[in-house]
A and B are shown apart, each in its own frame.
Chain A
Amino acid sequence: MSRIRTLSLVALLASVAWSQTQSPVVSFKTVRRLYDKNRDGEVTRAEYTRGDELFTKLDADGDGVLTEHDFATKKEARNEAKKPTDPNVPGASTPDATPVTPPTAEQSAFFEKHIRPVLVKDCMTCHATGLGDVKADLALDYRDGWVKGGINGPAIVPGDPESSLLISAMRYSDSDVKMPPKGKLSADVIRDFETWVRMGAPDPRVDAPKNSKEAATDGSLPKVGRTVSKDEIEAGRKYWSFTPPAKSVPPVPKQNGWAFNEVDQFLLAEMEKKGLAPAPDADRRSWLRRVTFDVTGLPPTIEALDAFEKDKSTDAHEKVIDRLLNSPQYGERWGRHWLDVARYAESTGKEVNVAYPHAWRYRDYVIDAFNRDRPYDRFLIEQLAGDLMPYQDAVQQSTQLVATGFLAVGVKALNTRDRRQFEHDLADEQIDTTTQAMLGLTVACARCHDHKFDPIPQSDYYAMEGIFLSTDTLYGTFRAPQTNYPSAVIELPKDNGQPKGAQMTAIQRTVLKGLYDRAKQLVETPVDPKADVVARVRTAQANATIAQYDDVFSRFDKDGNPTDRNLVAMGVMDRPRPREARILDRGEPAKALELVKRGVVQVITASDAAPTIKKGSGRLELAEWIASPANPLTARVMVNRIWLHVFGQGLVTTPDNFGMTGNRPSHPELMDWMAVQFVEDGWSVKQTLRRLLLSHAYRMDSTASAKSASVDPENVYLSHMSTRRLEAEAIRDAMMASAGVLELERPEGSPVGALEGRVNGDLLRRGLAMQKPVRSVYLPILRDVVPEGLEIFDFAEPSFVTGERERTNVATQALYILNDEAVTAAAEAFAQRCMRESDDDGPRIEFAFLTAYGRKPSPNETEAARSFLRDFRALQRTDAPTPPTQEGARRRPRVARGNAAPRVDVEKETWTAFCQALFGSAEFRYVD
């Protein structure tokens, strides 16, 4: 059984002494003192270390956190039991005992002007029957609500402000009840309330509002903006993408013998309809470079080029494809495609950007899942509900827990002030990512109103929100100033088979230790009781720093090796009690309408096939509904994603939107054939990819015929392959591979693993250095501080679901290639490889071209290269020594200072310039 681990000083906390069988009679104060580690005034399930059973007992209102309310409820229940039937006891009075005189016009006006707006704005979020939440049983949304009063009795004694609880609570004079909790209201407002109570608290709101639970059953939707009717949903089920795909018989094209497989049949038949003919085959080396980049994100090695050139067997292409698909580099490339869609990153983003030190486990999970060709349906279920799936052993259980990191690694605004707002935003982010990534639907558009374009009513959104609100998202951040909503992480079970993570580097330790010691010193210095706000915030920050780094230092031993305490993961678990969500008028938490039964999007569910939630949050049912062959979108969306990365654009060119504002497929029958075949292949991504790579279409040359260029310039009908720019990772990896320095082995963990708290300043600059030149997929991806070499070549913005990246061509990229230190260093390493290869220019040039482009230079190019080398050498020799500049120290290394002018290492400089030019050339960053 996995446990949730709290992040701070567990060991220092005493346990409460009561037997497990005894009914807990304990004050909230005590519980809070013992368990509220982050001091946010409530105790979460994660903080409570006495087990689930007791927690559930204490959590009277079942909201997953222990608050004063739970204990008040208990107390009240006990009082209820021994309540005397004495009518003189306050609170025993019944509403109809109080005479109601209708307010005068003047009184009404006063109420409407000064009282109602305040009640609505500052009180009714928590005290309104009509909105569903009635904290401490006190309703303030109708007259009898306060007449009857809450657990402390009537809130108002008409005519007597001094005896009215409401007034004392507003004045903050009562030490127990201070309302509203987020801050005292202004003196003017309080005076208005006193006046109002003094005049007898005239309240025109005599009718009890309709209980919203009853409202939920009549099935009516709130009337805001456009409404999606049942008819519209029914009609929507006939939209192409909302109808289950059906397999048609592949057409038989006129041209015989060209089609290798069904994919080609569909494509060729369509070409013929448009009067197009397929391009001739690409030459073998172009195909090999193409397929090697497409499958692994790396250039072919010289050995691979040689071997393929020599292999004249009929299945030579197939052998290459299988070799590449079985290499671990396949998962590193294709896993990254999914990480784009899963908006993977290692920090929260937003104004207060807080590190996720354990996010990398999810990254590795995705890479492994692709490498092991985890069936795509299972892959999806694991990410949404891995914690709820059965398992054979701790290794499998851990893998499944890590998979749920999908729901935890999103953007979060931890400085949000209002807890409800934060929780709704969190669920919204999860709904948005899940539906776009897996279904190609923008369900989150229905948060504030019915979807403007698709037949998705607001109630569908809140049906899904209930599932996510019943889920505890564990992302592992601490409380600190500007950083609210601390969260635990999942402690993985023993024998989990998981790596422990990256070492803490010496530099990281030094930086962290420095910050830690400074914080300690600050806290230990006695604080002037009259200290100003700034000083108090500084102390709070220091305390947070200490708590964070206590955790960090417990995760690493003194040599920087990760300890068992680092075996934790981000992810989700079910809350103890599931709950339904309420529709929020315009998405505003303060405007809760009726409850909605948890469920899924209707338009893509046959009316009799809606899943029933058997137990828990319903995430498992949601996941199974998504990953079902009956879901019309799931297979289509994934097949399209695979297609897009093979042919350069999707059959549907809006890969994250299959709704009504998305584009329709260029080849509808092919799309559906592929989708059904994908499911029949056991949702195997590798099988689907292999089919595309083996097609004749994939073997075509990338040059467009004149006809194709004029009739089909966007190459929608694929009468030739499209030239595609490589992604940022492939460009960087190819430079490193050419330089011969790329480390193919997967590094353990991430440099972010040794961080906690806000990511900025020194910690970042010095803390993120990689130990080894690893593949780009393993570089630290912090939101808003993506490594420059990736950012500049259109890396996927990690705050959005990104099915397709941009492909820009701008001067800043050229500047990066020309001037960046790391690129220059890689060029130098590449140069040294060339120089080791031979002493002569000819073989060096050939080696460089083979390495960078996968082909030999043409005679023209050889000549150009020789001419460049000659001129550049001459320039170096005649170059007057550069006078020392400010960058003098960083200028090129000069060797052999003789009596004459200082000489540079002409050969190394020349070849470095040469190799850097290759990096910058168009051919280096495009595949044909």
Chain B
Amino acid sequence: MSIDPCCDNEGGASRRSFLKSAASGFGWLAFAGILSEQAYGFDLGGKLNKVRPGIPQDPNDPLAPKQPHFAARAKRVIFLNMAGAPSHVDTFDYKPRLATDNGKAAGGKLRGNWMASPFKFTPSGKSGLPISELFPNVAQHADSLCMLNGMYTDLPAHPQASVKLHTGNFQFVRPSMGAWISYGLGTVNRNLPSFVTLSPDRGNGGAQNYGAAFLPAIHQGTPINIGRAGRGGGAALANRGGGGDEGVANLKSSRFDTKEQREQIDFLQALNRERLRREKDPQVEGVIESFELAYRMQAEIPDLLDLSKEPKATQDMYGVGEQDTDAFARQCLTARRLAQAGVRYIQITKGGWDHHRNLKQAITDSTKAIDKPIGALLADLARTGMLKDTLVMWGGEFGRTPYAQGNDGRDHNNKGFTMWLAGGGVKGGYAHGATDEHGYEAVAGRLSIHDWHATILHLMGVDHTRLTCQHAGRDFRLTDVHGEVAKDILA
């Protein structure tokens, strides 16, 4: 079964040709609006047909769950994005040679002296994966982790590399991985966005990192702030000030009840569809979808984001309420609740990894904030039986130099770094690929960002060469014309 929701669904020749002629950006609504107005609002007599989108039966619904190309190992993704590029040689890429050569000139083109990791690595789990003492909790799950030690990317600059990591292309605006997955697979809970991004980074590409580009706008990530409270007192401004607000604001009208609001939205959507018909403006689809989703979210989001619904023991396990871990713990626990509720793709962004100096202290602080919550997340997913089909991914946009910057820092390094995967049909306790003996350059099992994307899609049951959308007269893919699945890591 093919999944090309944009261009090749069960819609018949007329629909396909219409969409081809409309070329870009036109998805289901254009079709629905023009060929079956009856179903979506205006009939030609101008009367309103009140369609109440609940759980969809409509094959044109862009978020309806779709069959993957082949059996999926993972049904959902939780991506723990470490913005700023954490050092691999201090965390998950053990390089004893650095200790031997500590202080020696790196030589060659490299201007710097090798710097041993100040942290001890211990063989962990039955598999004996070497994990740094910075991650005592994560280390307990060593046998679930699949290390990708041979990652590399194009550019050692944060904004470009971050956009590349998320969209596969740093030069042009392209859909993000979460949007592609939402587009390809839809989502099972129609009361929630298919793609949620918790407290996204405002810099380094900003909204591009969760954008939908030319895919229907409904696939873009919905940003929700969790764990930012206290930053500048945002929470105190619940009703007036903005960015720092916790959770989702404005979930209830103080004026209209749900029946009235539905009536109101039906009218608003009728106007939107009329505009869509008149102007053929694909951006209208985004507005239409955003109101439908908003309406449905009102019912489910408040409970879902209420972490007090979790037993105290669970909150404690994640580190909720502890000074060092609170923010990330809330994000991880929220991610688990969203995953459980059926959200397809969840991203958490944790910044502050750009350790050019003061590495020893700073990376200790950074890892302290995430180790316990991640350990709890993996344990919790395992406990609920979800780990087997939830793909947890950890990593930043590149790595850091094994040679020193100053006395106590490491510079950007795009030649080799580490990300890891867990659950979702990957081999546990397994290390794929390697950097050279100092950890500078990936030399074995090399994975580009395209390869990484291809592998993730594969785990989701999607062939990266067949997940396409036509835009500007040609088919686009997340992996462009590249990408090779790392078959070795499949369980």
Name 20 A/B residue pairs within 8 A (Cβ), A-sorted. A353-B233, A586-B405, A710-B473, A713-B25, A714-B472, A723-B281, A760-B232, A764-B236, A768-B240, A785-B234, A788-B245, A809-B283, A818-B250, A818-B253, A818-B294, A864-B274, A867-B46, A879-B259, A917-B271, A926-B283
Identify the interface centre among B231, B288, B290: most chain A CB within 10 Å of its CB: B290
In the bound complex, residues from chain B placing their C-beta under 8 Å from that of A448 are: 356, 405, 411
* A153 CB, min distance to chain B CBs, angstroms: 31
Q: Are B411 and A225 in contact (CB under 8 A)?
A: yes
Cβ 8 A contact of A723, one of B111, B208, B261, B283:
B283
Bound-state CA distance A238–B276 (Å) is 47
Q: Which residues of A contact B220 (CB under 8 A)?
A: 808-810
A453 to B160, CA, bound (A): 12
Question: Using Cβ atoms and an 8 Å threshold, which residues of chain A touch B259?
Answer: 875, 879
Contact B243 A864 (CB under 8 A): no
Roughly how many angstroms separate A195 CA and B130 CA in the complex, as a whole number?
40
Contact residues of B between 195 and 223, Cβ < 8 Å to A: 202-203, 206-208, 211, 214, 217, 220, 222-223
Q: Are A588 and B406 in contact (CB under 8 A)?
A: yes
B482 at the interface (CB under 8 A from A): no
Residues of A within 8 A of B71 (CB): none
Is A190 in contact with chain B by the CB < 8 A criterion?
Answer: no
A586-B405, A788-B245, A922-B284 as given contacts; A863 in contact with B279, CB under 8 Å: no
The answer to whether B406 touches A819 (Cβ under 8 A) is no
Q: Which residues 289-305 in B have Cβ within 8 Å of A in the complex?
A: 289-291, 293-295, 297-298
Within 8 A of B (CB), among A864-922: 864-865, 867-868, 871-872, 875-876, 879, 882, 887, 890-892, 909, 912-914, 916-918, 920-922
- The contact string, 1 if C-beta is below 8 Å from chain B, for chain A 814-835, is 1110111100100000000000
Chain B residues within 8 Å of A813, by CB: 290
- Known contacts A788-B240, A815-B251, A709 near B22 by CB under 8 Å: yes
A residues in contact with B171, CB < 8 Å: 663
A743 at the interface (CB under 8 A from B): no
Say yes or no: is A110 at the interface (Cβ < 8 Å to chain B). no
Bitwise interface map of B from 257 to 287 toward A, beta carbon under 8 Å scored 1, else 0:
1011101111110111011101111011011
Q: Scan A695-718; emit 1 where CB is below 8 A from any B CB, else 0.
A: 000000011001001111110000
Q: Does B337 contact A (CB under 8 A)?
A: no
A710 CA to B471 CA, complexed, in Å? 8
A811, B233: Cβ atoms under 8 Å?
A: no
Enumerate chain A residues within 8 angstroms of B291, measured Cβ to Cβ. Answer: 811, 814, 818, 920
Are A788 and B249 in contact (CB-based, < 8 A)?
yes
Chain B 344-370 against A: per-residue CB contact (8 Å), 1 yes, 0 no? Answer: 000000000000110000000000000
Which A residues lie within 8 Å of B405 (CB)?
A: 448, 586
- Chain A residues lying within 8 Å of B23, measured Cβ to Cβ, are 706, 709-710, 713
Question: Which of A788, A859, A865, A928 counts the most B-chain CB atoms under 10 A from its CB?
Answer: A788
Residues on the A chain within 8 Å of B356, using CB:
448, 586-587
CB-based A-B contact count at 8 angstroms: 278
Known pairs A702-B279, A797-B206, A909-B256 / 17 extra A-B pairs, C-beta < 8 Å: A347-B232, A449-B411, A585-B406, A709-B23, A765-B237, A788-B249, A791-B243, A809-B289, A815-B248, A820-B250, A891-B254, A913-B260, A920-B268, A921-B268, A922-B276, A922-B283, A928-B279
A591 at the interface (CB under 8 A from B): yes
A923 to B281, CA, bound (A): 10
A452 at the interface (CB under 8 A from B): yes
Q: A586-607 interface mask toward B, CB cutoff 8 Å, 1 = contact, 0 = none?
A: 1110010000000000000000
User: Across the interface, which residues of A come within 8 angstroms of B383, CB to CB?
Assistant: none
Contacts of B25 in A (CB 8 A): 713
**CA A794 to CA B254, docked complex, whole Å:** 25
Instruction: Report yes or no: A785 in contact with B232, Cβ–Cβ below 8 A.
Output: yes
Closest chain B CB from A341 CB (angstroms): 16
In the complex, how many angstroms separate the beta carbon of B211 from the nearest chain A beta carbon? Answer: 7
* A863: B residues at CB distance < 8 A: 45-47
* Contact for A875 among B42, B223, B242, B263, CB less than 8 A: B263
- Residues in chain B near residue A812, CB distance under 8 A: 222-224, 248-250, 294
Q: Mark B155-183, 1 if CB is under 8 A from A, else 0.
A: 01100100000000001000000000000
Q: How far is the CB of B440 from chain A (nearest CB, A)?
A: 14
Q: Are B406 and A586 within 8 A (Cβ)?
A: yes
A782 to B411, Cβ gap below 8 A?
no
Q: How large is the interface on A (under 10, 10 to 19, 20 to 34, 35 or more residues)?
A: 35 or more
Q: How far is the CA of A296 from the CA of B399 in the complex (A)?
A: 47
Q: How far is the CA of A782 from the CA of B274 in the complex (A)?
A: 40
**Across-interface contacts of A797 in B (CB, < 8 A):** 202-203, 206
Contact present for B241 and A785 (CB under 8 Å): yes
* Nearest CB of chain B from residue A525's CB, rounded to whole Å: 27
Docked pose: A453 CA to B268 CA in angstroms? 49
Q: Are A223 and B160 in contact (CB under 8 A)?
A: no
Assess A815 versus B298: contact at CB under 8 Å? Given A761-B236, A923-B275.
yes
**What residues of chain B lie closer than 8 Å to A871, measured between beta carbons?**
48, 263
| Contact partners of B241 in chain A: CB under 8 A | 764, 768, 782, 785-788
Q: Which of B202, B203, B206, B297 meets A815, CB within 8 Å?
A: B297
Taking a contact as CB atoms closer than 8 A, the residue among A224, A808, A916, A925 that contacts B111 in the complex is: A224
**Band of interface residues on B:** 35 or more
B111 touches A861 (CB 8 A): no
B267 touches A787 (CB 8 A): no
Q: Fill in one digit per residue for A786-812: 1 if any B CB lies within 8 Å of its CB, else 0.
A: 111111101001011000001011111
CB distance from A397 to the nearest CB of B (A): 35
Q: Look across to chain B and name the residue whose beta carbon is closest to the beta carbon of A769.
A: B240
Minimum distance in angstroms from B321 CB to a CB of chain A: 20
Expressed in whole angstroms, the Cα–Cα distance for A552 and B234 within the complex equals 24
Contact B290 A809 (CB under 8 A): yes
Give min CB distance, B219 to chain A, whole Å: 11
**B242: contacting residue among A759, A787, A860, CB under 8 A:** A787
Say yes or no: is A579 at the interface (Cβ < 8 Å to chain B).
no
Partner of B260, one of A585, A713, A875: A875
Residue A19 interfacial (CB < 8 Å): no
Which residues of A772-793 are within 8 A (CB) of B? 782-792
- The residue in chain B whose Cβ has the minimal distance to the Cβ of A663 is B171
A812 to B286, CA, bound (A): 12
Q: Are A760 and B236 in contact (CB under 8 A)?
A: yes
B residues less than 8 Å from A764 (CB atoms): 233, 236-237, 241
* Bound Cα distance from A709 to B24, whole angstroms: 7
Residues in A neighbouring B234, C-beta threshold 8 A: 784-785
Q: Is the CB of B260 within 8 A of A872?
A: yes
Determine if B21 is an interface residue (Cβ-Cβ < 8 Å). Answer: yes
Nearest-Cβ distance from residue A189 to partner chain B, whole angstroms = 16
| Residues from 659 to 682 in A contacting B, C-beta threshold 8 Å | 661, 663
Q: Determine if B240 and A765 form an interchain contact, defined as CB atoms under 8 angstroms apart.
A: yes
Question: Which chain B positions have C-beta within 8 A of A578?
Answer: none
> Which B residues are in CB contact (< 8 Å) with A256?
none
The verdict on B184 contacting chain A, using a C-beta distance below 8 Å, is no
Question: How far apart are the CA atoms of A588 and B408 in the complex, in Å?
Answer: 11
Complex: how many Å from CA A762 to CA B276?
45
| Complex CA distance for A529 and B468, rounded to whole angstroms | 73
A858 located at the interface, meaning its Cβ lies under 8 Å from any Cβ of chain B in the complex: yes
Interface bits B11-35 vs A (CB < 8 Å: 1, else 0): 0000000000111110000000000
Q: Does B312 contact A (CB under 8 A)?
A: no
The yes or no answer to B409 lying at the interface (CB within 8 A) is yes
B271 and A921 within 8 A (CB): yes
CA distance A760 to B283 in the complex (A): 38
Q: Establish whether residues B267 and A865, one from each chain, have CB atoms under 8 Å apart when the complex forms.
A: yes
Give min CB distance, A731 to chain B, whole Å: 12
- Residue among B47, B248, B256, B473 with most chain A CB within 10 A: B256
The reply to whether A864 and B270 contact each other, CB–CB distance below 8 Å, is yes
Partner of B274 from the list A453, A785, A814, A860 (CB cut-off 8 Å) is: A860
A224 to B404, CA, bound (A): 11
Q: Which of A588, A791, A811, A864 contacts B297 (CB 8 A)?
A: A811
Known interface pairs A706-B21, A709-B22, A917-B271; A815-B250 also in contact (CB < 8 Å): yes
Bound CA–CA A201/B260 (angstroms): 86
